[in-house]
Amino acid sequence: MRKIAAVLAVVLVAALAGYAQNCTQTTLNNYLGSGFSCTVTDQTYSAFNYTSESTPGGYAPPADGVTVTPITTPQNPGFQFTAGWYASTSSGISSMDSTFEWTTTSVSPITDLSLSIAGVGFTGTGSINVDETACLGAVLPTCSGGTIVTLNVYDNSTGSKLFDEVNFAGVNEVSVEKDLLVTAGTNGSAEISVLTDQFSEGSSTVPEPGTLSMMGMGVVALAGFARRKMNL
């Protein structure tokens, strides 16, 4: 029965992909809205959501200020998001905080998720941090029946990590929630212009010990994510 259910799930994803339009390079506001979906190769993306705020308010990039560029690399498609996120004590903008959400379904099993940032820089106490929570095989915020993994990239005075990835046994659905935070601190600046997510397809792999540890930390991240959703 499980094999039959798996086959039916793949057939359903393929059928839905046939009805979705191709993802195009445009601003993020065109990806928002109930019922929107689009495809890159054999993957379908839907349920997009975006929120953005700054301190003081009114400076964070709105959805129509974020450019979405589909990545069409065979077996490693995804998205690149481009905008100007910055904070500095000299400008009086102490922070910008943006959240991205969407769900990816795929005909071929997804076995690797990667997150990277570019166009980054900081001075003094400035900091850039991107936390990503992904549900494998189900949908956030509950991720009921799925598995949570987390990724993190950053650039600040403690160090720099511009790329992160996690591999796992193949799934046909991945739900993503990503939080980008740029802060100036007490005396500094920080900026970032590019975020990239890719969903690799390939042979299923058994998670390594480091990945298993990351999944465990993901449970804690999910609890905080769910609490934040309840407070909205």
pLDDT tens-digit series, residues 112-161: 999 999 999 999 999 999 999 999 999 999 999 999 999 999 999 999 99
Comparison of pLDDT for 222 and 51, the residue scoring more: 51
41, 66 Cβ separation under 8 angstroms = no
Whether pLDDT at 22 is above 80: yes
What pLDDT shows up at residue 18? 46
All residues at 6 or more sequence positions from 71 whose CB lies less than 8 Å from its CB, including other chains:
40, 77, 78, 79, 80, 196, 198
| 202 — pLDDT class (breaks 50, 70, 90) | confident
Nearest Cα neighbor of 150 from 199, 205, 113, 118 is 113
CA–CA distance, 121 with 192 (Å, rounded to integer): 7
What pLDDT shows up at residue 222? 45
Nearest Cα neighbor of 195 from 140, 125, 120 is 120
Comparison of pLDDT for 13 and 43, the residue scoring more: 43
List the single range of 13-22, 133-142, 169-178, 207-216 with lowest mean pLDDT: 207-216
**DSSP letters of 81-142?**
EEEEEEEETTTTB-EEEEEEEEEEEEEEEEEEEEEEEES-EEEET-EEEEEEEEEESS-TTT
CA–CA distance, 198 with 39 (Å, rounded to integer): 13
What pLDDT shows up at residue 211? 43
Length in residues, the chain: 232
The model scores a pTM over 0.85: no
105, 197 Cβ separation under 8 angstroms = no
3-state helix, strand, coil in the chain (%, to 5): 20, 55, 25
Q: Give the pairing of strands 21-22 and 37-40.
A: parallel
| 20 — pLDDT class (breaks 50, 70, 90) | confident
Of all residues in the chain, the percent with pLDDT exceeding 90 is 78
All residues at 6 or more sequence positions from 3 whose CB lies less than 8 Å from its CB, including other chains:
none
pLDDT tens-digit series, residues 73-105: 999 999 999 999 999 999 999 999 999 999 999
Query: Span 195-223, mean pLDDT?
Result: 59
